[in-house]
Amino acid sequence: MNKPFLTRWAPAFVAVVALIWAASKLAPPPRSADGMDTEAFGRLPVVFNGRVQPFDSVARNSLLQIRGKQSLREAGDGARMTAMEWLLELMTRPQAAHDRRVFRIDHPDLKSLFGLPVLDPSDPRDDGKHYSFSKLMPGLEKLREQSNVAREKADASRDPYEQAVLKLGSAMTLYLRLQSTLQPPNTSGFGAELADYTASIPGGAAAFKARFAGRDFDTNALTRTLDHAQTYLAMHGMEAPLVVPPHHPERERDNWMRMGEALLESSFPVALLRHLVNEEPLPQAEVARLIEKAGTVPLHPSIGLFARMADARVKGDATGFNGAVTEYRSVLASTFRRELSKASQEQVFSRAEPFYTSMVLYMAAFVLAGVFWFTLSEATRRAAWWLVMAAFVVHTAGLVTRMVLEGRPPVTNLYSSAVFIGWGAAGLGLLIERFWRNALGLAVAGLLSFASLIVAHYLAQAGDTMEMMRAVLDTNFWLATHVVIVTLGYASTYVAGFLSLMWVGLGLGGRAMTPDMGRSLVRMVYGILCFATLFSFTGTVLGGIWADQSWGRFWGWDPKENGALIIVLWNALILHARWGGMVRERGMHLLSIAGNIVTSWSWFGTNMLGIGLHSYGFTDAAFKGLMAFAGFNIAAILAGAWVHRGASARAATTAATAA
Amino acid sequence: MRRGRDASRLLVMLRGALDFLSSLRLTVALLVLGIVLVFLGTLAQEPMGLYLVQERFFKSFFVDAVAMNAAVRKTAHLFGIPAAPLPPEAYFATPLVPVFPGGYLVGGLLLANLVAAHVRRFKFSWTKSGIVLTHVGLVLLLLGQLFTDLMSRESQMSFREGETRNYSEDFAKHELALVTDVDGTDREMVVAVPSTLLREGGEFRHERVPFIVRVQRLARNANVRRRAPMVDTNLPPASSQGAGASFVMLPLPPSLSMDRRDQPAAVVEVEAGGALLGTWLVAPTLLPQRLTGAATGWRVELRPTRYYQPFALTLLRTKHEIYRGTTTPKNFESRVEVENPGKGEKRVVDIYMNQPLRYGGLTFYQFQMGREQLEAGGRGTSALQVVRNPSWLGPYFGTVLVFGGLMVQFLIHLVGFVGRRSRATANAAIKPVAA
């Protein structure tokens, strides 16, 4: 084998290794020691947040909102629980779950509100950050009061304490909601309770009808059923995930039910109870119809199976649990094939974590590109190239899977815009590298994609990232055009800015900053800025056209619109300043670095104002992050101005070639 | 001789001015001003509200000192520097002191700069065709925005299922309306005075109206509420006649928030045939009030300005869908019947999100929908946003031109670049062989 062949193709081996690593995460983890197939349970479909998803996603997103992590490892005893194992415990053995330290509290004032010690030395499981439900329960009322105060205020004017109060409040609400998913939280055995309820229905319904007809009725029979019914009505009111599939999928495929309402269907439906108990309005004809219907609808078969799963889980009966899960799957298989396969795919997607994998690979590629500039070894550059390629493949696979799962274009919310910016940056970086082969494109792809995926990682902590689109956004055409193009505009402006950051970085030292490299950088940044202008402009005006289609206003000076406009103006400014000879190499790079700040303002800053159509709510930490990024870029501008103070002389020749 | 020198000096000056007007330096300076303006205009929205910001930053030639102050305070606040927002009244203080170029000035100069540059340096070449196209598109976009500002009109049409409307209401403007039924028809005759013409002490007469109306009290924003006899002992009833006899009128500072508009109120005195009939309280929250005496048969009201149309819309049915198990709206839809007797037209249309109805020079968008009534089994209500914007197509053409221009320019560069690049690579590949 000859040497050129080796330097050429041996580096590709890193891509093979990287892809094998990525693929290995597709495989299901080993079954837990107790033999319960929680993975199989996690694949079952439910409806939550308005969409079909696996139990696994409910578990992961909930734990993320409550604890900030997708798994649970308590200080002290060290055993790791998956999110699914935790949720299953919460749904079947709430008393045990209440002692798990799942609630993360960082704000000191919030800790003192609950009278929590800074650190309890007598408790080895106390890490000063995580608290159990039992520990927090006594302070629930106080938290509610504080939440009401905080909720009165406008989003933008809440201080960190109030934000923490609301965050904990919504975490505890979510926790309580989840508790009522499968069975009544206080049941002493769901199977037995269900048997008693079912047995009571004929007598209870007959007594109920007799009472309304003004005849004599059996009070005991009615009370027996009503006792159950009241528990189930309260359970339904907790707004747990919808676990019971519709009876007639061919007619009403979306009509999934909460366990509470599904249980009540067989005796006294929710609407009837609410009318009778809470005096909610209901037409008289409907009341009569529902009374007539009482006791005639059979329990949905899934209820009995869920009861078997819950009881088996409580008893530690792995065979019984796994059997019930398998049986439920086969019940669904004939009519809910689509939901079953979507849930399975989403579970695999969450497990594979393609964006995390590619994030690691991008970072590795950036490091290799850095090494190249010191060693100038072509093999290193090629290895970096293959790593970015591998990361890009995994990233693309993740992006496409998300699109298929959601049935949507790639960008639907802030989270997915971060994922997409990283993807666009990697694509552009690879393109640049194909032309110039000096590792600059790779370094930018590595660093920028890594950074944007980190941002995405933090944004994902808000919960479900595949939430449904509210009415006005529910249009794939505009999501696919305006949103995608404007996001590519962000991505390309960042690429130009990061290339200019490289110009500063390489100028600080090392062998890489040759005159040739300098000339390439000018051309790259110029070219990408043209590209960025095209995309940010087109994306922005397409947004205007969408607005015109939606409410008859092409331009409304909304903060997000203004942010996008500022990017367009900024890019136009750099280009015109360059054409007019007002800036040369140094000036263009410095302006292009400032473009990073401008883009971040548009992408994130405008959401922090708490006004306008695009305000999605915001956290203090994100503001600090934004400030830090802006500060870093300002420092880079100063450093660049100093390091390259001789650049203007060089620029005369560069400008001549670039023009 | 002298005149010739003067003329040439004038020519030099003119040329200098044109040079300046068409210079790229001016472009860059205007872009900088534009960026600063848009940024400040974004920040000022929280304290000032969107509508006021549009007026004072973008739809004006200069930004005034008060508006600038609001923006600067908000900026300081964003960075954690304590700066209390200005009181709402401060925004309406006059005179306005200009401190920074506003949207019309920056936009107008950009337009002039762009046109001058192209007139002065125009020389057709294919390589510049994209640039020309882009800038023509930009001119269209800038002019389109100006025309929209000047000519577009937004109002709302809200109704219950089964109701018919031949007018829309502009909740940002109000009018004092004198209404009487036209005998033998289901029509009304309306004489309306725009609220901008109302002044305390002002007087109105009209040939078709058999009485005189004088404005006694007027508030651009007021709380009109029922008078509590035991509590409001020092607050006299707002008027002698009508609902005002048991209501009070409390002036409020102007409202700045985006979702709450000013609710004006007025007390008017009516005189017929030299005799005073009394005073009436009018406000948009009150029903029309019946006049008495010589003015019997007439009603008076202060209501959102109505725009009547020669056609009518009937709301047949509303649909409000949410995602199962959430409160997230999935779709709002109104089925309406459009009836235009003048043209003999009658048809049924569904209006829903992103699917407006364009009819009679107006566009109807689904805006809001009452949900509670729907759930309780009652009749649904729907509000349509009604927009008249004759220049609505401008931005569409502008966008196509700019996009086309940028694409052309981008492709010309790309083709040139790839060509150079592949020649360079080819040369590089040949060299080692030669060496």
Query: How many beta carbons lie within 10 A of that of residue B392, not counting itself?
Result: 20
- CB A538 to CB B406 under 8 A? yes
Apex B183 CA angle, B178 and B185, nearest 5: 100
CB contact under 8 A, B39 and A475: no
Question: What was the pLDDT predicted at A610?
Answer: 55
Its pTM stands at 0.89
Q: Is B27 on the interface with A (CB under 8 A)?
A: yes
Q: Please, what's the largest Cα pairwise distance for chain B?
A: 114
Does residue A151 or residue A424 have the better pLDDT? Answer: A424
What distance in Å separates the CA atoms of residue A629 and residue A455, rounded to the nearest whole number?
A: 12
Ranges A23-32, A181-190, B249-258, B326-335: which has the least confidence: B249-258
CB–CB contact A557 B50 (8 Å): yes
Instruction: Give the Cα separation of B51 and B260 in Å (integer).
Output: 11
Give residue-wise pLDDT tens across range B83-112. 788 888 888 887 889 999 999 999 999 999
Model pLDDT for residues B123-137, shown as the tens digit of each residue:
777 778 888 899 999
Is the model's pLDDT at A109 over the cut of 90? no
Q: Which residues, in sequence order, are CB contacts of A646 under 8 Å at separation 6+? A: none
* Residue B261 or A430, more confident: A430
The lowest-confidence range among A534-543, B84-93, B417-426 is B417-426
The band of A658, judged by pLDDT with boundaries at 50, 70 and 90, is very low
> Token pair for residue A430?
């690879």
The confidence score (pLDDT) of residue A615 equals: 41
Which chain B residues in 126-185 lie under 8 Å from chain A, judged by CB atoms? Answer: 141, 144-145, 148, 154
Q: Give dist(CA B203, CA A82) in Å, integer.
A: 78
Cβ A175 vs Cβ A133: under 8 Å: yes
Domain ranges of chain A: 11-28+38-46+338-424+437-454, 50-179, 190-299, 469-659
Mean pLDDT value across residues A312-321: 94
Q: Would the pLDDT of A614 be above 50?
A: no
Q: What is the pLDDT of residue B427?
A: 59
Is 90 exceeded by the pLDDT of residue B232? no
**Which residues are CB-contacts of A623 (< 8 A; sequence separation ≥ 6)?**
A608
Cα–Cα distance, A452 to A430 (Å, whole number): 17
**Which 8-state DSSP code applies to residue A100?**
S
Q: Helical H runs in A279-317?
A: 284-293, 301-315
Q: How far is it, in rounded angstroms, from Cα A178 to Cα A263? A: 17
Which tens digits make up the pLDDT trace of A556-581? 898 889 999 999 999 999 999 999 99
ipTM of the complex: 0.88
Judge whether A555 and B391 are in contact, CB under 8 Å. no
On whether any CB of chain A is under 8 Å from the CB of B92, the answer is no
A572 vs B423 pLDDT, higher one: A572
Please determine, for residue B288, whether its predicted confidence score (pLDDT) is greater than 80.
yes
Give me chain B's average pLDDT, please.
86
Strands A71-73 and A80-82 come out as antiparallel
**pLDDT greater than 80 at residue A433:** yes
How far is CA B144 from its chain centroid? 14
Chain A residues near residue B45 by CB distance under 8 angstroms: 557, 559, 609, 611-612
Model confidence band, residue A6 (pLDDT cutoffs 50, 70, 90): confident
Distances (CA, A) of B229 to A512, B232, B236, B247: 87, 6, 9, 10
Q: CB-based contacts of A510: which residues, under 8 Å, 6+ apart?
A: A373, A374
Task: Please answer yes or no on whether B28 and A582 come within 8 Å at the CB atom.
Answer: yes
Percent pLDDT > 70 in chain A is 94
The percent of residues above 90 in pLDDT, for chain A, comes to 60
Partners of B165 in the β-ladder: B313
- Asked if B421 is an interface residue toward chain A (Cβ–Cβ < 8 A), one would say yes
Please give the Cα distance from A306 to A648 (Å, whole number). 74
Nearest CA in chain B to A431: B418
Judged on CB neighbours under 10 Å (0-12, 13-18, 19+), B245 is middle
Least confident of A25-29, B32-36, B39-43: A25-29
**A569 and B389 in contact by Cβ < 8 A?**
no
A71 close to A82: Cβ distance less than 8 angstroms: yes
Cβ–Cβ gap A562/B406 under 8 Å = no
Per-residue model confidence (pLDDT) at position A153: 79
Matching residue, tokens 């003067």: B6
Interface A-B: count of C-beta contacts within 8 A: 173
What pLDDT does residue A515 have? 86
Using CA atoms, how far apart are residues A349 and A413, in angstroms rounded to an integer?
A: 19
The whole-chain average pLDDT of chain A stands at: 89
Give the side-chain half-sphere CA count within 13 A for B134.
19
Nearest chain B CA: its distance from A395 CA (Å): 27
The CB density around residue A34, as the number of other CB atoms within 10 Å, is: 12
Which of A170-174, A262-266, A620-624 is predicted least confidently?
A: A620-624
Query: Which segment of A152-161, A274-283, A400-409, B96-105 scores lowest on mean pLDDT?
Result: A152-161
Backbone φ and ψ of A185, nearest 5°: -55, -30
**A81 pLDDT higher than 50:** yes
User: Given an 8 Å threshold on Cβ–Cβ distance, is B154 in contact with A239?
Assistant: no
Q: What is the pLDDT of residue B75?
A: 85
Sign, Cα dihedral of B23, B24, B25, B26: positive
Residue A648: what pLDDT? 53
| Mean pLDDT lowest among A52-61, A247-256, B364-373 | B364-373
Residue A614: its chain B contacts at CB < 8 A? none
Q: How confident is the model at residue A133 (pLDDT cuts 50, 70, 90)?
A: very high
Query: Which residue in chain A is spatially nearest to B22 when comparing CA positions?
Result: A580
In the numeric block, the tokens 């009615």 are attached to: A222
pLDDT confidence of residue A361: 97
> CB A246: neighbour CB atoms within 10 A?
20
Q: What is the pLDDT of residues B299-340, one digit of tens each?
A: 999 999 999 999 999 999 888 888 887 878 888 899 999 999
Q: Which residue in A448, A425, A438, A421 sits closest to A384, CA to CA?
A: A438
Mutate to test the interface with A, among B33, B56, B149, B354 (most CBs of A within 10 A): B354
The beta-carbon neighbor of A554 closest among B35, B43, B148 is B148
| Cα–Cα dist B288/B286, whole Å | 7
In the numeric block, the tokens 């949905």 are attached to: A300
Confidence of residue B369 (pLDDT cuts 50, 70, 90): confident
Can you read off the two tokens belonging to residue A659?
A: 């023009």
Contact assessment for residue A110 and residue A135, using Cβ atoms and an 8 Å cutoff: no
Residue B158 pairs with which residues in a beta bridge?
A: B383
Q: In this predicted structure, what is the pLDDT of residue B4? A: 67
At A479 the three-state DSSP class reads helix
Where in chain B are the domains?
Answer: 2-122, 123-148+390-435, 153-163+308-388, 168-305
Rounded to whole angstroms, the Cα distance separating B271 from B216 reads: 12
